[in-house]
């Protein structure tokens, strides 16, 4: 017997499916291939096995390796348990800023993969993703 899925439920299934596909994409560090690109010096950190309770912190660095000033327009994270702070939102050509991630492990058990996205005004690097991983027990 076939059942019809309501429009809002179908949209929810599609959104969850797209989110899962996005999260399963392999992430690799991005390096400049030619002058004039925004460079991510590192974009994934694995804390390994950790106990539930402490707040985990890791600092990344983001470099504007273009000939023009670059602005970070907005920042979003995968969930409320991850906080992202950026030292500078406007970067001159060649300037680097610190990207600080803080993950609350309390009530987050299992293999965890979270991300923070920086949205920039550079069309070549509109979204820069930083990922942290942990196995919390």
- What is the number of domains present in the chain? 1
Percent of the chain scoring above 90 in pLDDT: 61
Q: Would you say residue 9 lies in a domain?
A: no
Q: Would you say residue 80 lies in a domain?
A: yes
Q: Would you say residue 112 lies in a domain?
A: yes
Q: Would you say residue 14 lies in a domain?
A: no
Tell me the HSE value of 33 on the side-chain side, using a 13 A CA sphere: 4
CATH code for position 58 = 2.60.40.10
What are the tens digits of pLDDT across the range 88-112?
A: 999 999 999 999 999 999 999 999 9
Q: Would you say residue 7 lies in a domain?
A: no
Residue 68's domain comprises 30-136
What are the tens digits of pLDDT across the range 65-95?
A: 889 999 999 999 989 999 999 999 999 999 9
Mean pLDDT, the chain, rounded, equals: 78
Average pLDDT over residues 29-38: 41
Q: pTM score, two decimals?
A: 0.69
- 40 has pLDDT over 70: no
Q: Would you say residue 8 lies in a domain?
A: no
Would you say the C-alpha torsion 91, 47, 135, 40 has a positive or negative sign? Answer: positive
What are 5's two structure tokens?
């899925």
Q: Would you say residue 92 lies in a domain?
A: yes
Q: Residue 80: its pLDDT value, please? A: 94
Q: Would you say residue 57 lies in a domain?
A: yes
CA distances 46 to 56, 65, 70, Å, are: 11, 26, 28
């Amino acid at each position: 017997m076939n059942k019809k899925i309501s429009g809002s439920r179908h949209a929810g299934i599609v959104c969850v499916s797209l989110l899962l596909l996005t999260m399963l994409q392999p992430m690799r560090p991005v390096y400049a291939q030619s002058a004039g690109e925004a460079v991510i010096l590192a974009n994934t950190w694995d804390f390994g096995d950790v106990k539930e309770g402490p707040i985990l912190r890791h600092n990344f660095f983001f470099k504007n390796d273009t000939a023009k000033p670059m602005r970070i327009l907005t920042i979003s994270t995968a969930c409320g348990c991850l906080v992202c702070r950026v030292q500078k939102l406007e970067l001159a050509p060649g300037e680097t800023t610190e990207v600080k991630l803080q993950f609350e492990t309390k009530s987050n058990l299992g293999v965890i993969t979270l991300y923070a996205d920086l949205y920039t005004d550079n069309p070549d690097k509109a979204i820069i993703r930083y990922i942290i991983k942990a196995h919390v027990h």
